[in-house]
Structures are given as C-alpha cells and as structure tokens.
Amino acid sequence: MSPAPFNTPEGIGIWIGALLTFCVFSFLYKDNPFYKLAEHLFVGVSAGYYIILNWWTVIYPNLLEPLTKAFAGKGVTERTGMFAAELGDYRGFLLFPALLGVLLFTRLFGRIGWLSRWSLAIIIGVYAGLQTTGFAQGDFVAQVQASLQPLWTGNFLTSVSAVIFTVGLITSLLFFFFSREHKGALGVASRIGVFFLMVGFGAGYGYTVMSRVSLLIGRFQFLLEDWLGIVR
C-alpha cells in the first residue's frame, strides 16, 4: 500500500482531487480563498466539459454527421443518392430541429430574441405532453390501482399491514382536505393523518442523513484508499 504516484496521469489526477477535497473541506472552518478557488474551478471546468460532451455525444452523432451523410448521398445500405438512407439514419429533415436549435441563440440578440420562443414553445409542449402522459400512466392510475387493497388477505400479519396502509392513506388524504374546519371526526382523522405524515418525514430525514453521510464517507474512502493507499 502506497500513496498515489505523482508520475502518472491518473496519479496526478488523484493528487489534484485530494487537494481540491481539502480546499472544499476548509469551508467547514470558515469561508476562505482555497474554497473559492475550488468552487470557481468546478464551475469553469464543468461548463467547458458539458459543452464538449454535448458536442461529441449529441450534436455531432445525432445532427451533423447524419446531415452531412444525407446531403452527400450516403446511406448505410448499398443504395446511394439523396433518399438512400433508411429511416432513423441519415435524415435531411434534421435541418428543422437544427434550425430550432439555432433560433434559441437569438435570445442573445435583443431585437430578434422573440424568435427563440418558437423553439421554447416546442420544447415546453413536448415535455408537458411527455410528463402528463407519463404521470397519468406511471403514477396516477398505477398508484390508485395499487392502493385498492383487500383488508383481509387470509394472512393475519399482511391483513394488519393492509389495514394500517389503508388507514394511513385515508387519514393522510383527509389532512389535506381544507374545505371544512378540522373539528370532530375530521379533526380526529386529520390528527391520525399527521401521525402517519410524521413517520414519513422521519423516514425521509433518516434517509437524507444517510445520503449526506455517504458523501463524506465517499470522500474519506477516496483519501484513504486512492490517495494515501493505507486502506483497501
């Protein structure tokens, strides 16, 4: 077990990672220039990385190359000519989304900035449609269906579980019924609902703590295993 070597590209990367980790940890003491350096480096490197990544993984393979091949008359089959391509390969109609993409940049030019709204309208429309149908199919219908459980399942323990589930579901829903004052039977039910909600918040808090502690453990494992090499 030995520290990361300083004479290999990977080793240098680990050393830089370790030093930047200490720079970020230093914020726990108080804000300082080392933390600021790490923060600015992160923002700058991320921006550059994302631009290059999107160029080579999206714009080039899904737009530029298919367009180039389409107009050069090359298809994946042995056929040649403008319309030789199969559906999904080299499509000339990609000019349309390319134009919409370019229109987004008109926001940088005040007078013609309104043109970007056409692209945004399509983006918002498509995503609203996808989200709505996805939610309806994946969440609403499926979850309502799964919530309609028989209270007696033939097994005592699973039946108790089903009853607790149903009581929790109904009382939690009643807590969010605000058209009537929470008094009498509704008040009792909503107070029971609060109890179930609190259990849910508690579980959520516990999981959140686990997630955040995992990040700290991950950094320590990096420092101990990858950088110092004292634990494996």
Partner 1 sequence: MSLATFFEKLDRRWIFLAMGLLVLFPLLFPLALPLFVSSPVASFVKAVDSIPDGSKVLMSCDYDPSGIPEMVPMTRTALRHLLDKKCKVIITVLWNGGPGLVDKVVRKVVDEEYPDLKYGVDYVNLGYKAGDEAVMVLMGQGIVNAFPKDYRGSDTRSMPIMRGVRDYSSFPMLVNISSGYPGTKEWVQQVQARFHLPMVAGVTAVSAPEFYPYLQSGQLLGLLGGMAGAAEYEKARGEKGSATRGMDAQSLAHFFVAFCILLGNVVQWTKRRRAGA
Site of interaction with partner 1 (CB under 8 A): 28-29, 46, 49-50, 53-54, 56-58, 61-62, 65-66, 76, 88-89, 126-127, 130-131, 133-135, 137-139, 142-143, 145-146, 200, 203-204, 206-218, 220-221, 224-225, 230-231
Least Cβ distance, residue 195 to partner 1 (angstroms) = 17
- Give whichever of 198 and 210 is closer to partner 1, judged by the CB atom: 210
- Give whichever of 135 and 152 is closer to partner 1, judged by the CB atom: 135
Least Cβ distance, residue 229 to partner 1 (angstroms) = 13
CB distance 167 to 174 below 8 Å? no
- Give whichever of 188 and 213 is closer to partner 1, judged by the CB atom: 213
- Give whichever of 39 and 225 is closer to partner 1, judged by the CB atom: 225
Least Cβ distance, residue 168 to partner 1 (angstroms) = 12
Least Cβ distance, residue 73 to partner 1 (angstroms) = 18
Least Cβ distance, residue 113 to partner 1 (angstroms) = 23
- Give whichever of 80 and 137 is closer to partner 1, judged by the CB atom: 137
CB distance 227 to 3 below 8 Å? yes
| Side chain identity, residue 98 | A
Least Cβ distance, residue 138 to partner 1 (angstroms) = 3
Q: Nearest Cα to 226, choosing from 24, 15, 21? A: 15
- Give whichever of 115 and 224 is closer to partner 1, judged by the CB atom: 224
Q: How far apart are CA 135 and CA 144, in angstroms?
A: 12
